[in-house]
Amino acid sequence: MKPYAEMTKEELIALRKELKAQYREMQGKDLRLDMSRGKPSVEQLDLSMGMMDVLSSNDDLTCEDGTDCRNYGVLTGIDEAKELLADMMEVNPDLIIIYGNSSLNVMYDTVSRSMTHGVMGNTPWCKLDKVKFLCPVPGYDRHFAITEYFGIEMINVPMTKDGPDMDMVEELVSTDSAIKGIWCVPKYSNPQGYSYSDETVRRFARLKPAAPDFRIYWDNAYGVHHLYDHDQDHLIEILAECKRAGNPDLVYKFASTSKISFPGSGIACIAASLNNLEDIKRQLKFQTIGHDKVNQLRHVRFFRNIHGMVEHMRRHADIIRPKFEAVEEILERELGGLGIGEWTMPKGGYFISFDSLDGCAKEIVARCKKAGVVMTGAGATYPYGKDPDDRNIRIAPTYPPLGDLITATELFSLCVKLTSVEKLLKTMD
């Protein structure tokens, strides 16, 4: 089929009729499918069930340093968990604090502390007239929700295949002292699956912020989440690069085992310079006597070391790779060459990002919903839920079983076609 934009009005009207009939048929199937959130599937969760067996009532829950994990204490996490997560984060274990079950919680807490108590002796943000964050778009809705919740003004920065538009980042960060942070998902980004290039990481490390309390929020949520064995993205390690650039305190690095072990029951951590860690600990000691050491120990005993984790991630990849490939194949088969959509083909992470013709995304998602397939809300990938071009849709292939995913993606493609035809016809009126 030729590109829709090259079709005559008559051809488009005939096509609309055909697509509407197909859509009605799909509606008749009474589908109930969910492609909205990036959750692991049941099979993926099953991979970690062994974690339930590594600690039993007969086991000794003593750490290597003699700490009894059943009791209070150890503010920043047990050494063996630090070692495991430090390897995962590619940093020195001394630069890590282990938290509880969620990295989002750590990010929220970091923004919250900056609001009430300031960053390393600087004025608390709540006492300033204006606080702003840069938001590479499209991006992760829950990041944007945190900054929106605290009344922080969000500024869109376009993403490229190499990361955020660094000319814009450098210009804004160096001239506006109200800009206190930037949300980054540097590897297999949410939602495009892009990884920052070496140059982007180097430029981040060499930023010269107008605000002394500006920090890069480097959310490495997908650091070990490759889909392929032999074609993987590797990033320059940002903490070391910042140090090299004479900017050791510029970055907070976040991660968790949410999509490695159990989302919501994993372990999360922050990595940062010793100065930043001291600043954080001043607050942390009032928040808790220590996080869940039993869970930390369970993770260490299950994975053993980074090699065990890498092997475990291969098993995840074996489950989700066919799902990503199925979505990509269907999109290519149904939409390839029609000029009505573009999508990413990530080598890792949890999402595929789809761009429709301008002004179509909301309608496509609504149509999918009316036929029983829930997608992530259009606009969710932008601050304030506002996609200025109404074209980005996040596809989350991991959760549904393959058969459902195929049906859902076929329906999605149909909705893209129908909505695009209607859009083009409208422009001809």
Q: Which of 103, 273, 409, 420 binds ligand PMP (CB under 6 A)?
A: 103
- Per CB under 6 A, does 360 bind ligand PMP? no
For residue 219, the 8-state DSSP code is E
Q: What residues have CB less than 8 Å from 285, skipping those under 6 apart?
A: 75
Which residue's entry shows tokens 């919903």? 369
Q: Which of 41, 44, 48, 102 binds ligand PMP (CB under 6 A)?
A: 102
Q: Which of 26, 169, 173, 185 binds ligand PMP (CB under 6 A)?
A: 185
Query: Where are the alpha helices (H) located in 100-187, listed in sequence order?
Result: 103-117, 141-149, 166-175
- Per CB under 6 A, does 80 bind ligand PMP? no
Question: Residue 320, Cα to own-chain centre: how many angstroms?
Answer: 16
Q: Which of 258, 296, 356, 407 binds ligand PMP (CB under 6 A)?
A: 258
Integer Cα distance of 233 and 380 in angstroms: 26
Q: Which of 36, 41, 76, 190 binds ligand PMP (CB under 6 A)?
A: 190
Q: Which of 146, 221, 327, 368 binds ligand PMP (CB under 6 A)?
A: 221
Q: How far is the CB of 289 from ligand PMP (least distance, A)?
A: 22
Q: How far is the CB of 10 from ligand PMP (least distance, A)?
A: 45
Integer Cα distance of 157 and 143 in angstroms: 14
Query: Where are the alpha helices (H) located in 259-360, listed in sequence order?
Result: 274-287, 293-303, 306-335
Q: Which of 38, 181, 223, 290 binds ligand PMP (CB under 6 A)?
A: 38
Please state the φ and ψ torsions of residue 305, each to the nearest 5 degrees: -155, -175
- Which listed range, 97-105, 200-208, 279-287, 361-369, lies at the site for ligand PMP (CB under 6 A)? 97-105
Q: How far is the CB of 36 from ligand PMP (least distance, A)?
A: 11
Integer Cα distance of 209 and 271 in angstroms: 20
**Rg of the chain taking only CA atoms, in angstroms:** 23
Q: How far is the CB of 88 from ligand PMP (least distance, A)?
A: 13
Q: How far is the CB of 267 from ligand PMP (least distance, A)?
A: 9
- Tell me the pairing of strands 251-256 and 215-219: parallel
Residues near ligand PMP (CB under 6 A) are 38, 102-104, 140, 185, 190, 219, 221, 256, 258, 263, 268
